[in-house]
Amino acid sequence: MIEHRATVNVKIPILPCKHNGKTIFPTGIWIGTYFSEELKAVQKYGYTFKFIEGYEFSKMDLFSDYVRNFYEQKRNSTGPKRFIAKMHLNQLYGIFGRKHDLLETVNIYKKDFEKFISSRIIKSIIPINDRIIALLMYKNINEDIIDKLNTELDMNLSNYQYLVNANVAIASAVTSYARIQMIPFKVDGSCVYSDTDSTFTTKRLDSIYLGDDLGFMKDELNGLRIKEAYFLGVKKYGYKLLPDAQSLPPLQRQQ
């Protein structure tokens, strides 16, 4: 955890922060938790930090062989095989960042409902027929919440614990490395929208960034230009293409 102080030199904010459940890119002073490599990457853009506390993790190459394997399958396959390979690539780091509190769905007889409601925290109840209902119930609940409910409501709730294979350090590092890769595209003055793997720009990217291999950007519009675009939020945008690619200065989408 660090206290972050953004100086007046930060012209284009590139360090994110969670605020009221949303990700923003502020200036000013705030406290947050960040991956160390991202802090190193943004220092030259005017950010300064006061460190409060930290966690140290071992460093090793975990996914190079995994990524190369499924990237080759994606590039050289079509149909379901390509889709599955793409999902293996896109969803891996999200698995490591998933929450430990889970939901469980069970079908029970109505006559057994009292037994469940007295020992489990139920999110919703769905009638199936005259005899059966479906219960959506919480698992892996914080022990303090269970103790408080049992004490204040004189209940006998049990905490049903299930192992969740997750590692938030891995997920946050992958996301941070993606943001680091996108910094050059954000700070050159031509970026009008960006997420962790793509950018809309008002000028053509340098050829050194473009290619078909892993790690390169590609022109998602195949040379077409954008006449008009609206960006309403995260992955919420729309645009109108130019009929003539040479008629007006473009917006380009690169990914």
Q: Beta strand 22-24 with 122-127: parallel, antiparallel or unpaired?
A: unpaired
Looking at residue 225, what is its pLDDT? Answer: 87
Residue pointed to by tokens 């030199």: 9
pLDDT per position as a tens digit, 58-110: 888 989 999 999 999 998 999 999 999 999 998 887 888 877 777 788 899 99
Supply the mean pLDDT for the chain.
82
pLDDT per position as a tens digit, 10-37: 788 999 988 888 888 888 888 888 999 9
Q: Which helix (H) or strand (E) holds 92?
A: helix 79-96
Looking at residue 248, what is its pLDDT? Answer: 46
How many of the other CB atoms lie within 10 Å of CB of 90?
12
Residue bearing the bigger pLDDT, 248 or 20: 20
| H-only helix segments in 123-232 | 143-153, 168-187
Nearest CA to 250 among 150, 83, 47, 242? 242
pLDDT per position as a tens digit, 113-124: 887 776 777 889
Looking at residue 155, what is its pLDDT? Answer: 65
Looking at residue 107, what is its pLDDT? Answer: 93
Q: Is residue 8 very low, low, confident or very high in pLDDT (cuts 50, 70, 90)?
A: very low
Token readout for 152 is: 């204040």
Q: Is the pLDDT of residue 52 over 50?
A: yes
Q: What are the distances in angstroms from CA 38 to CA 43, 76, 174, 179, 244?
A: 9, 33, 11, 8, 41
Looking at residue 140, what is its pLDDT? Answer: 66
Looking at residue 161, what is its pLDDT? Answer: 63
Query: Alpha-carbon distance 255 to 250, whole Å?
Result: 16
Q: Is the pLDDT of residue 40 over 50?
A: yes
Report domain extents, the chain.
Answer: 2-51, 57-98+166-187, 102-153, 188-254
